[in-house]
């Protein structure tokens, strides 16, 4: 047992006498001051992860109207639309040029004939967007943050590259944010925009496509794989400009803003504050290990996503390569992992020729329902290894969890699933409903499965909650906003599977910021949560100098056992743990240091809407130390 330190009563008694203004922190004073409100995303156009179809994985730049409309028709006729696949997204390749007289973008009408409207506008996507809307669907468009697009650097043999003078071929947003967003959303009626980043990454003066094709050089703001050489502040600022334009043109905020800078510039930390979804990795390919690579960039980021803001490991490659109709085991695993990670479910396949076996994967209503569960809790890793993983997602239905047990490796695995991993009581029966075979089974304590290489099982589990009268915070990432995660200097995450299937160059190196971030059921650098030798299963691991907000759904009491994590990088920094309710200090601990026993902290949160948990370092300039909010929970009393 940790030392008992219960300050709730004392703190409340002392504070109740003060006027509210004396207790709420003055604005802009100290970043660790309570906000007194939810500062995370609001649901906007994505209360649950967006679903639909995108042209890129199926056609690269060789997209056209028949292919897009064909996908839309199949989505409607097969019933996929009813399951939630509503966005039909046109990726790179649609543009002809930017008209120099007024800067208006022109659609390539040879591949999108309905855009040839004539008249002063000459081309318009309005007819196609109207057609998609009339089918009950929504429409997405693609652009780039810089002057030029990715295809202009990487698809040089494409028949669909922008044409004309240097200025006419500048089809990206640079210098045209307001004009283009107005065109896409007001004039053309799109509902979704994906904003790529090649224009700010790949147009340095020395690049051969820049010199030989006569593009205007742009000093790269983003260097793939390097935090040190990427200007995160400037890049975030540019994406924010797009966000502001979107809010102007669609004040209802019922749109999707997809940030696509491939996990660069530490976007895995700030994407949630700017966009609706943000890519956490470089492009997915239809290769097993590359799929794992993408998955690993979201699987430890559950606390950075919530309704209105979702981690994006890239679009689905179900149907192609390692995930084609001859590899349904792999295809189901890929889909199950995306579903439980609350990834956007964007089909990347030529749907005009989809075999039933693939339609059955995208159309598995039970798996889709897990992804679209209204509580918006991303699955959390309950068992981790390079070979087998168990991911558990808390559903809105009381006492229900979704779980994926996956064999990532090359040899068969005998997997054990325990009640404890599900946060269920180990002495009560647990019902398992297999979401692929539809079989039901039951176990108490633990159960075993044999998994062939690359096989997974996905269930909804129903049992008696271990914490009968409450919930661990790590079970409800959808109700948490990490306002400040304490990371003083972003570092590359070394835990992402490095897909080494192409062996030219020096190999795959850690490439995405996010190391040391806030973690559900783990310490910031991936170790088990532990304070002075005491292990915590459930809990939040985070750095000092952090503040996170938790929506309280009617619980009465907050309780946790806290301290400096054993595996911290800074063993000399002391930290105080503070609990706020709607901006008022409810409880705090004395300063705790490395090696000191964990200490209990509790606060009455009856009637409180937003709880804020702050780990305040004695020296704000010092290297942050890792802290544990062990067994942090909200309970009835
Ligand atoms: C990449 C992006 C892909 C696709 C492609 C188009 O940067 O990650 O998803 O949009 O550009 O050229």
pLDDT tens digits along 139-164: 999 999 999 999 999 999 999 999 99
| Measured distance CA(390)–CA(459) in Å, rounded | 11
What are the angstrom distances between the C-alpha of 343 and each of 79, 309, 385, 558? 21, 10, 21, 30
Residue 518, phi then psi, degrees to nearest 5: -70, 135
Rounded to the nearest whole angstrom, what is the distance from the C-alpha of residue 150 to the centroid of ligand 1? 6
Q: Which residue is listed with tokens 């190196």?
A: 509
Rounded to the nearest whole angstrom, what is the distance from the C-alpha of residue 386 to the centroid of ligand 1? 28
Question: What does the pLDDT average to over 307-333?
Answer: 98
Q: What six digits make up the tokens of 114?
A: 């309905």
Report how far apart the first and last C-alpha atoms of the chain are (Å, whole number): 20
Rounded to the nearest whole angstrom, what is the distance from the C-alpha of residue 259 to the centroid of ligand 1? 11
pLDDT at res. 507? 87
Q: Is the pLDDT of residue 18 over 50?
A: no
With pLDDT > 70 as the criterion, what percentage of the chain qualifies?
95
Is there a contact between 125 and 109 (Cβ–Cβ < 8 Å)?
A: no
Instruction: Reduce the DSSP state of residue 462 to 3 states and report it.
Output: strand
Confidence at 26, pLDDT banded by 50, 70, 90: low
Q: What is the DSSP letter of 3?
A: B
169-219 pLDDT tens trace: 999 999 999 999 999 999 999 999 999 999 999 999 999 999 999 999 999
Q: Whose CA is nearest to atom 1 of ligand 1?
A: 150
Q: Which residue is listed with tokens 């698809």?
A: 155
Instruction: Reduce the DSSP state of residue 222 to 3 states and report it.
Output: coil
481-530 pLDDT tens trace: 999 999 999 999 999 999 876 788 888 899 999 999 999 999 999 999 99
How would you class 14 by CB atoms within 10 Å of its CB: exposed for 0-12, middle for 13-18, buried for 19 or more? exposed
pLDDT at res. 502? 73
H or E stretch including 391?
strand 388-394
Question: What does the pLDDT average to over 320-334?
Answer: 98
Long-range CB pairs of 202-208, under 8 A, 24+ apart, other chains included: 202/150, 202/153, 202/154, 203/146, 203/147, 203/148, 203/153, 207/153
Q: Would the CA dihedral through 285, 170, 513, 580 be positive or negative?
A: negative
The length of the chain is 637
Confidence at 577, pLDDT banded by 50, 70, 90: very high
Q: Which residue is listed with tokens 């794992």?
A: 292
Residue 198 alpha carbon, nearest atom of ligand 1: 7
H or E stretch including 140?
strand 138-144
Residues 502-535, buried b or exposed e (16+ Cβ, 10 A)?
A: eeeeeebebbbbbbbbbbbbbbbbbebbbbeebe
Q: What six digits make up the tokens of 10?
A: 């004392």
Residue 154 alpha carbon, nearest atom of ligand 1: 12
| Measured distance CA(154)–CA(224) in Å, rounded | 15
In three-state form (DSSP H/G/I as H, E/B as E, the rest C), the secondary structure along 239-265 is HHHHHHHHHHHCCCCCCEEEEECCCCC
Q: Is the pLDDT of residue 11 over 50?
A: no
Confidence at 539, pLDDT banded by 50, 70, 90: very high
| Measured distance CA(604)–CA(12) in Å, rounded | 9
By most ligand atoms within 8 Å of CB, the mutation choice from 53, 54, 56, 261 for ligand 1 is: 56
Instruction: Reduce the DSSP state of residue 73 to 3 states and report it.
Output: helix
389-444 pLDDT tens trace: 999 999 999 999 999 999 999 999 999 999 999 999 999 999 999 999 999 999 99
Residue 196 alpha carbon, nearest atom of ligand 1: 7
Q: Name, in order, each residue with C-beta under 8 angstroms of 196's C-beta and a sequence gap of 6 or more.
A: 92, 142, 143, 144, 145, 149, 150, 260, 261
Q: Is the pLDDT of residue 575 over 80?
A: yes
Q: Whose CA is nearest to atom 8 of ligand 1?
A: 283
53-95 pLDDT tens trace: 999 999 999 999 999 999 999 999 999 999 999 999 999 999 9
Q: Is the pLDDT of residue 260 over 50?
A: yes
- For residues 497, 502, 507, 509, the Cα torsion angle rounded to the nearest 10 degrees is -30
Question: What does the pLDDT average to over 363-387?
Answer: 98
pLDDT at res. 28? 59
Selection from 322, 347, 282 nearest residue 80 by Cα: 347
| Measured distance CA(239)–CA(259) in Å, rounded | 8
pLDDT at res. 25? 46
Q: Is the pLDDT of residue 622 over 80?
A: yes
> Residues near ligand 1 with C-beta < 6 Å?
56, 91-92, 150-151, 196, 198, 260, 262, 283
Question: What does the pLDDT average to over 231-252?
Answer: 97
Q: What six digits make up the tokens of 396?
A: 């809105």
By most ligand atoms within 8 Å of CB, the mutation choice from 141, 202, 283, 297 for ligand 1 is: 283
Confidence at 304, pLDDT banded by 50, 70, 90: very high
| Measured distance CA(566)–CA(528) in Å, rounded | 9
Confidence at 27, pLDDT banded by 50, 70, 90: low
Rounded to the nearest whole angstrom, what is the distance from the C-alpha of residue 186 to the centroid of ligand 1? 24
Selection from 503, 401, 408, 491 nearest residue 453 by Cα: 408
Q: Name, in order, each residue with C-beta under 8 angstroms of 231's C-beta and a sequence gap of 6 or more.
A: 221, 222, 265
Rounded to the nearest whole angstrom, what is the distance from the C-alpha of residue 202 to the centroid of ligand 1? 13
| Measured distance CA(173)–CA(125) in Å, rounded | 17
Q: What six digits make up the tokens of 61?
A: 């730049």
pLDDT at res. 19? 32
How would you class 398 by CB atoms within 10 Å of its CB: exposed for 0-12, middle for 13-18, buried for 19 or more? exposed
Q: How many CB atoms within 10 Å of residue 69?
A: 17
Q: Is the pLDDT of residue 624 over 60?
A: yes
How would you class 539 by CB atoms within 10 Å of its CB: exposed for 0-12, middle for 13-18, buried for 19 or more? buried
What does pLDDT average to over the chain? 94
What are the angstrom distances between the C-alpha of 109 and each of 56, 88, 123? 19, 18, 7
| Measured distance CA(595)–CA(532) in Å, rounded | 5
Q: What six digits make up the tokens of 256?
A: 């999707």
Q: Are strands 557-564 and 626-635 parallel, antiparallel or unpaired?
A: antiparallel
Instruction: Reduce the DSSP state of residue 331 to 3 states and report it.
Output: helix
Residue 142 alpha carbon, nearest atom of ligand 1: 10
pLDDT at res. 506? 85
Is there a contact between 223 and 230 (Cβ–Cβ < 8 Å)?
A: yes
Q: How many CB atoms within 10 Å of residue 440?
A: 11
Q: What six digits make up the tokens of 605?
A: 């949160």
The region of weakest confidence among 23-32, 268-277, 458-467 is 23-32
Rounded to the nearest whole angstrom, what is the distance from the C-alpha of residue 160 to the centroid of ligand 1? 15
- For residues 304, 307, 309, 310, the Cα torsion angle rounded to the nearest 10 degrees is 70
Quickly list DSSP for 405-444.
EEE-SSS-EEEEEETTTTTB-TTS-EEEEETTT--EEEES
């Amino acid at each position: 047992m940790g030392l008992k330190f219960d300050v709730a009563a004392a703190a409340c008694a002392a504070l109740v006498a003060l006027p509210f203004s004396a207790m709420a922190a003055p604005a802009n004073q100290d970043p660790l001051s309570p906000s007194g409100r939810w500062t995370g995303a609001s649901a906007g156009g994505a209360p649950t992860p967006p679903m639909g179809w995108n042209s890129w994985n199926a056609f690269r730049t060789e997209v056209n109207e028949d292919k897009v409309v064909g996908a839309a028709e199949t989505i409607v006729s097969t019933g996929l639309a009813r399951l939630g696949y509503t966005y039909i997204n046109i990726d790179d390749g649609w543009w002809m040029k930017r008209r120099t007289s007024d800067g208006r973008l022109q659609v390539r009408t040879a591949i999108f004939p309905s855009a040839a409207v004539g008249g002063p506008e000459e081309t318009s996507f309005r007819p196609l967007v109207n057609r998609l809307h009339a089918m009950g669907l929504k429409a997405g468009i693609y652009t780039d943050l810089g002057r030029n697009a990715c295809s202009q650097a990487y698809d040089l043999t494409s028949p669909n590259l922008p044409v004309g003078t240097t200025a006419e071929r500048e089809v990206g947003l640079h210098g045209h944010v307001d004009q283009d967003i107005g065109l896409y959303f007001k004039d053309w009626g799109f509902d979704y925009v994906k904003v790529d980043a090649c224009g700010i990454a790949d147009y340095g003066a020395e690049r051969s496509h820049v010199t030989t094709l006569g593009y205007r050089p742009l000093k790269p703001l983003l260097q793939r794989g390097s935090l040190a050489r990427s200007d995160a502040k400037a890049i975030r600022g540019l994406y924010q400009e797009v966000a502001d334009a979107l809010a102007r043109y669609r004040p209802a905020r019922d749109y999707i803003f997809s940030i696509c800078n491939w996990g660069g510039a530490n976007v895995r930390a700030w994407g949630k504050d700017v966009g609706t979804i943000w890519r956490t990795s470089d492009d997915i390919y239809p290769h097993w290990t590359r799929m794992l690579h993408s998955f690993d960039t979201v699987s430890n980021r559950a606390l950075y996503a919530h309704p209105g803001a979702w981690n994006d490991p890239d679009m689905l490659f179900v149907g192609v390569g390692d995930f084609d109709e001859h590899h349904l085991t792999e295809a189901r695993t890929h889909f199950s992992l995306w579903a439980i990670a609350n990834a956007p479910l964007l089909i990347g396949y030529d749907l005009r020729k989809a075999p039933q076996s693939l339609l059955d994967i995208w159309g598995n209503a039970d798996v889709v329902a897990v992804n679209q569960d209204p509580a918006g809790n991303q699955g959390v890793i309950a068992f981790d290894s390079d070979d087998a993983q168990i991911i558990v997602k808390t559903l809105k239905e009381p006492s229900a969890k979704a779980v994926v047990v996956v064999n990532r490796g090359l040899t068969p695995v005998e997997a054990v699933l325990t009640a404890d991993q599900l946060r269920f009581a180990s002495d009560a029966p647990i019902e398992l409903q297999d979401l692929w075979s539809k079989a039901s089974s039951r176990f108490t304590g633990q159960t075993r499965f044999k998994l062939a290489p690359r096989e997974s099982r996905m269930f909804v589990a129903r049992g008696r909650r271990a914490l009968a009268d409450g919930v661990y915070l790590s079970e409800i990432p959808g109700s948490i906003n990490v306002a400040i995660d304490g990371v003083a200097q972003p570092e590359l995450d070394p835990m992402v599977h490095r897909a080494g299937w192409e062996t030219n160059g020096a190999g795959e190196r850690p490439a995405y910021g996010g190391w040391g971030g806030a973690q559900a059921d783990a310490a910031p650098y991936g170790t088990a949560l532990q304070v002075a030798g005491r292990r915590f299963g459930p809990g939040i691991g985070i750095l000092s100098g952090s503040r996170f907000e938790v929506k309280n759904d009617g619980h009465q009491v907050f309780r946790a056992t806290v301290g400096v994590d054993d595996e911290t990088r800074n063993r000399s920094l002391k930290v105080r743990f503070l609990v706020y309710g709607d901006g008022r200090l409810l409880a705090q601990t004395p300063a705790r240091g490395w090696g000191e026993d964990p200490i209990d902290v509790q606060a009455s949160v009856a009637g409180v809407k937003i709880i804020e948990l702050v780990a305040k370092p004695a020296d704000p300039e010092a290297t942050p130390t890792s802290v544990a909010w062990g067994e942090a929970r909200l309970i009835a009393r």
